[in-house]
């Protein structure tokens, strides 16, 4: 029993040492970046509110309108996504980075630090996006809080934290770069939608945002998978494998969402048109 306990302790110690030794010292003291505890507390409170406390509080209340709040929130998210896309472009993906293999540089030169700051800001952005779900709860839009929605909003801050803590730059940042571009379009759509029915009737392109998201994950899937076939690429293959798995899973989930919602909607419209004839 004592031997097994010692072996377990040794394994845990090795894991702790591995994570301590590989942390990015440049970002260690940045807000919410030193340890995962505060993030997990935020995510725990988020899930508790969105799944239990929030719906219970709203049960016998009228939904909040939140029009002005949503206008401001979505405008801020558009601006933030644009800044992230621009910084990702200037920090590497505008020509300095290699699509096939881009190792992480832990240097403190201006370009490397620019990308590191962009990774941290992306992490903060993912935390602020938890408000998407909070607003759904307050507006009693519980049907929009699907498993995909919760999984996506919970996992992305965790992945972003790992990026800030250990890999604030390099190959994995393409995800944030492309994702920020998609979010410019997505939050612009939400901003216009929040303006009311007079504008909403012109927003026919929502399904194409989902298509862009699927394309995004397919690109990341290929981009990270290729690392496994490059023995000389100095980017952690374990992290690349995790990103590949996650991109593949999101591709499947978003594709299933697209089929379930837009294909059925098209079929229903076709039936309605046939009846009118």
Q: Is the distance from CB of 145 to CB of 52 less than 8 angstroms?
A: no
Q: Is the distance from CB of 200 to CB of 119 less than 8 angstroms?
A: no
Q: How many residues does the chain have?
A: 277
Measure the N-to-C terminal CA separation of the chain; round to a whole number of Å: 78
Q: Is the distance from CB of 84 to CB of 121 less than 8 angstroms?
A: yes
Report the alpha-carbon distance of residue 226 to residue 205 in Å, rounded. Answer: 33
CA angle, residues 35, 129, 160, in degrees to nearest 5: 35
**Neighbour tally for 20: CB within 10 Å:** 8
Cα dihedral 104, 105, 109, 114, rounded to 10, equals 10
152 catalytic? Reply is yes
3-state secondary structure of 100: coil
Q: Is the distance from CB of 28 to CB of 118 less than 8 angstroms?
A: no
Catalytic residue among 22, 152, 153, 183: 152
> Which residues fall within 8 angstroms of residue 23, CB to CB, at 6 or more apart?
165, 166
Report the alpha-carbon distance of residue 39 to residue 61 in Å, rounded. Answer: 30
Supply the residues annotated as catalytic: 152
């Amino acid at each position: 029993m004592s031997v097994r306990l010692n072996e377990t302790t040794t394994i845990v110690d090795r894991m702790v040492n591995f994570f301590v030794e590989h942390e990015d010292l440049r970002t260690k003291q940045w807000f919410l970046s030193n340890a995962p505890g505060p993030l997990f507390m935020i995510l725990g409170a988020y899930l508790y509110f969105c799944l239990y406390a929030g719906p219970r509080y709203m049960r016998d209340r009228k939904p909040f309108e939140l029009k002005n709040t949503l206008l401001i929130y979505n405008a801020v998210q558009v601006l933030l996504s644009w800044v992230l896309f621009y910084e990702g472009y200037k920090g590497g993906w505008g020509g300095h980075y290699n699509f096939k293999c881009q190792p992480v540089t832990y240097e403190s030169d201006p370009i490397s630090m620019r990308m590191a700051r962009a990774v941290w800001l992306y992490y903060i952005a993912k935390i602020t996006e938890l408000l998407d779900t909070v607003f759904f709860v307050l507006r009693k839009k519980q049907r929009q809080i699907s498993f995909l929605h919760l999984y996506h909003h919970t996992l992305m801050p965790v992945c972003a934290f790992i990026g800030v803590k250990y890999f604030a730059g390099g190959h994995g940042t393409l995800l944030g770069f492309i994702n920020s571009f998609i979010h410019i379009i997505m939050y612009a759509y939400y901003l216009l939608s929040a303006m009311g029915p007079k504008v909403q009737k012109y927003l026919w392109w929502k399904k194409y945002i989902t298509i862009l998201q699927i394309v995004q994950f397919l690109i990341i899937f290929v981009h990270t998978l290729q690392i496994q076939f490059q023995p000389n690429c100095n980017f952690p293959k374990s992290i690349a494998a995790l990103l590949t798995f996650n991109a593949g899973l999101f591709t499947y989930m978003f594709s299933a969402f697209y089929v379930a919602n837009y294909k059925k909607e098209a079929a229903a419209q076709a039936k309605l048109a046939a009846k009118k004839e």
